[in-house]
Structure 1
């Protein structure tokens, strides 16, 4: 009963795993991940932030224009905002002001800040390409790992069928007395072990599938299947076309990380010039127009005769005093209208130039300049470090590729000999010239050889594709 359940399980699981779902080939997976992977989206956000910084830097050369207004009440003894006289009345006041200024010259501080922002924006865009390339390479590795785990699962499944077929044949021979029952018991034990190995292979495959789903930022609860290409038809250039020295010289100019480092250096140099310009005088033009209103403001309305005679003073001529007079008048005032106060009476304008000379500001300008120079030095060291790492990675990848080719060749030969040994052992076992335990050893050796061959082959493919990545900047699919 147990063995039947195990065999049934091994038949059902592949059926469930290949349920109806849209299959993903490698090209589709790479293209999708390059657009939807979370790391790619995060780098794209950083690129857009850099674009905003560029817009801000460009806007620094545009005149500022600001409008302000206020309104309120004054109580008790206050100064009338229109006449600057003390009044004891309650006053409602309101003012408007429009101001503008623009930097005319500041030793190219704004210009260099704008250039630095533009180069940093370009570096951010290239960095998005770097993340996409890295994600694409990771998808290729995950895809090949998933294909390997599927093949290992199929090998384990074939091993179950192989053991079960041999168990059936042995059972028939036991039934006619040609073999002892011990042989069947040993095969039953092997069948259970093969089933356990198969379940482990399925678990590994599912784990690799989840890693693939995560790279694609897909919903893990939805069905996901990959197409199974003929891996033997994957184009693999010979190692003679992938010399590490040549690859390194190419990669220094094509790898996004090296491009980002170079752009950071250029942006840093512009920042140094901008910081230096901030230490020198700057000239700014400014202008404003404004007006205000006060409820207590009185405007001249005219005069009327008062009917009295006013003495204007005294004049002494040769000791004779004269007192000149004039008819008296009463001066009339009325409340100035709101729009008249704002548009005519209280309207004011100003225009001028401002010279700003930084003399001492707590060493902020000098420190910013020195920090900018150190940033450039750090960017250069980062480029040197990344170039060194790139060279090491390329030479290591080439050495690993050579080892992978040799390992695959050896494992392929071992698998062929293991297959030949199994075929001979099977014939000897069926005629009773080989014990069950000896037969199972040969059979297990064949399974191990097939798994090792598959593992070495997929490792060989990835190693070559990695070298292609350094040569072309992307994996050739």
Structure 2
């Protein structure tokens, strides 16, 4: 029983801790940096660029390769120890070691190294851009959640107000002070307000799902945003002091995409120099060691063995024949041992090779032309991105200025609508206004409140966008 009660208390405690667990903007960004799928892809691209750079660096080292072979030869084949054709079956094996080094190739390898280094730097900048963009997207999604929650509060307040008015109208109808049509109108208004509240709550759920997708957070995990302190009075940049050209100049020096474009242009220029080097001679040093073994190899061992005399000719002297003899000797043979063959067949080579490209299907020339086109393409990409950045900054400045004016207009509208609604409530309660006019005034107030909140968060987002272009960081 005690164990069950303890488990229940632990469960309740963990549930309350989970329920009180709030997600601040900074926590969302930190979580996304570790789990966001786009960020992970950018990290992989960075690692790939680093591997290419390291490989190009290691290509300066000499090459060293070892080899071994083993097998049987059948029929007529070359004896690897005598280099003669033998019609026999033999077992053979060989060992080899070769090395080489580029002595001069008009700095092709060095230019490839520099090019890959610039591309590695570009990948670092692109990763930084992905992180900045992710922070910006989180800020947008976070503000949408706050906006949706504010709209839910306004909807709940509107439903509560309509409910209160309906209850009061029911009493007036029962007392005969107002017609029953007023009650029917307010019931219809309460139904509309309830529908609007359902829509607002659904939008709040969708906003949370959008942010969870960016974070790569399990959709089943509860999520409650931590509202930044004084979000509605957050100090923002003065539009008059954020001239678009000033923001554009700051963005050119701060934006990772601009830095990546510059690095890519420099990388393509280095690759062009490497391609040009292919058109000129290259000098390479090489050396090798090798040996081999064959099962048919024989060697002589021991002293010669006397086998008697062999008749090599006959001589007729005075009618008598005499033989001419010579001694015959034999030799003891045996299969040459493996170690002996390896030592006897040991060979070495060292030399220089000069490669002079003369005609190879214009492959080298085509490589140069492709590299030139790549340089021009990356320069155009840099110019296009620069032009787009200028357009984005000027557009963001214009949108922020318009959003500020829209917010001020929404504030004025909300104040006027609130004043009109207060007067309408007094007139309605004393029977000087019909229900249709009252509901219209109430609807206008509700719309003005929603428009004001929407305009506020739209202004905050637009001004944060300008701040993002200027400083490449987002704070809420």
Change (3 A) 1:305 1:27: closer
Q: CA contact under 8 A between 1:468 and 1:476: conserved in structure 2?
A: no
TM-score, length-scaled by structure 1: 0.91
1:188 is displaced (CA, Å) by 0.9
- List gaps (5 residues or longer) in structure 2: 1-16, 315-322
Q: Which residue of 2 aligns with 1:183?
A: 182
Query: C-alpha distance in 1, partners of 2:88/2:24?
Result: 85
Q: Which residue of 1 aligns with 2:3?
A: none
Q: Which residue of 1 aligns with 2:240?
A: 240
Q: Which residue of 2 aligns with 1:123?
A: 122
Change (3 A) 1:312 1:267: farther
Matched, 1:300 2:315: no
Q: CA contact under 8 A between 1:411 and 1:453: conserved in structure 2?
A: yes
Query: C-alpha distance in 2, partners of 1:233/1:448?
Result: 22
Deviations 1:42-64 (A, max 9, x none): 11111111111111111211111
More divergent stretch after superposition (230-239 vs 122-131) = 230-239
Q: Which residue of 2 aligns with 1:9?
A: none
Q: Which residue of 2 aligns with 1:251?
A: 251
Deviations 1:315-338 (A, max 9, x none): xxxxxxxx9976432233211111
TM-score, length-scaled by structure 2: 0.91
Query: C-alpha distance in 1, partners of 2:222/2:307?
Result: 108
1:81 is displaced (CA, Å) by 1.0
Matched, 1:50 2:55: no
1:76 is displaced (CA, Å) by 2.6
Give runs of aligned pairs for residues 289-368 of structure 1, distance below 5 A.
289-309=289-309, 327-342=327-342, 344-368=343-367
Deviations 1:290-334 (A, max 9, x none): 1111111012324414243468999xxxxxxxx997643223321
Deviations 1:362-386 (A, max 9, x none): 1111111111111111111111111
SS state at 2:276 partner: helix
1:183 is displaced (CA, Å) by 1.4
Q: Which residue of 2 aligns with 1:271?
A: 271
SS state at 1:23 partner: coil
Change (3 A) 1:434 1:310: same
Q: Which residue of 2 aligns with 1:14?
A: none
Q: CA contact under 8 A between 2:75 and 2:87: conserved in structure 1?
A: yes
Query: C-alpha distance in 2, partners of 1:149/1:97?
Result: 74
More divergent stretch after superposition (374-383 vs 407-416) = 374-383
Q: Which residue of 1 aligns with 2:280?
A: 280
Q: Which residue of 2 aligns with 1:156?
A: 155
Change (3 A) 1:425 1:19: farther
1:114 is displaced (CA, Å) by 0.8
Query: C-alpha distance in 2, partners of 1:453/1:233?
Result: 14
SS state at 2:19 partner: coil
Give runs of aligned pairs for residues 456-467 of structure 1, distance below 5 A.
456-467=455-466
SS state at 2:361 partner: coil
Q: Which residue of 1 aligns with 2:9?
A: none
1:77 is displaced (CA, Å) by 2.8
Deviations 1:181-226 (A, max 9, x none): 2211111111111100100111111111111111111111221121
Q: CA contact under 8 A between 2:309 and 2:325: conserved in structure 1?
A: yes
Query: C-alpha distance in 1, partners of 2:355/2:265?
Result: 30
Q: CA contact under 8 A between 1:275 and 1:372: conserved in structure 2?
A: yes
Query: C-alpha distance in 1, partners of 2:153/2:164?
Result: 16
Query: C-alpha distance in 1, partners of 2:23/2:313?
Result: 111
Query: C-alpha distance in 1, partners of 2:372/2:59?
Result: 23
Query: C-alpha distance in 1, partners of 2:60/2:284?
Result: 11
Query: C-alpha distance in 1, partners of 2:97/2:171?
Result: 105
Query: C-alpha distance in 2, partners of 1:108/1:254?
Result: 33
Q: CA contact under 8 A between 2:94 and 2:290: conserved in structure 1?
A: yes
1:234 is displaced (CA, Å) by 2.0
Query: C-alpha distance in 1, partners of 2:257/2:87?
Result: 73
Give runs of aligned pairs for residues 15-164 of structure 1, distance below 5 A.
20=19, 22-164=21-163
Q: Which residue of 1 aligns with 2:415?
A: 416
Q: Which residue of 1 aligns with 2:166?
A: 167
Q: CA contact under 8 A between 1:153 and 1:201: conserved in structure 2?
A: yes
CA RMSD of aligned residues (A): 1.9
Change (3 A) 1:324 1:359: farther
Query: C-alpha distance in 2, partners of 1:430/1:39?
Result: 58
Q: Which residue of 2 aligns with 1:10?
A: none
Give runs of aligned pairs for residues 382-393 of structure 1, distance below 5 A.
382-393=381-392
- List gaps (5 residues or longer) in structure 1: 1-17, 315-322
Query: C-alpha distance in 2, partners of 1:187/1:89?
Result: 112
SS state at 2:156 partner: helix
Change (3 A) 1:313 1:354: farther
Change (3 A) 1:275 1:325: farther
How many residue pairs end up in the alignment?
451
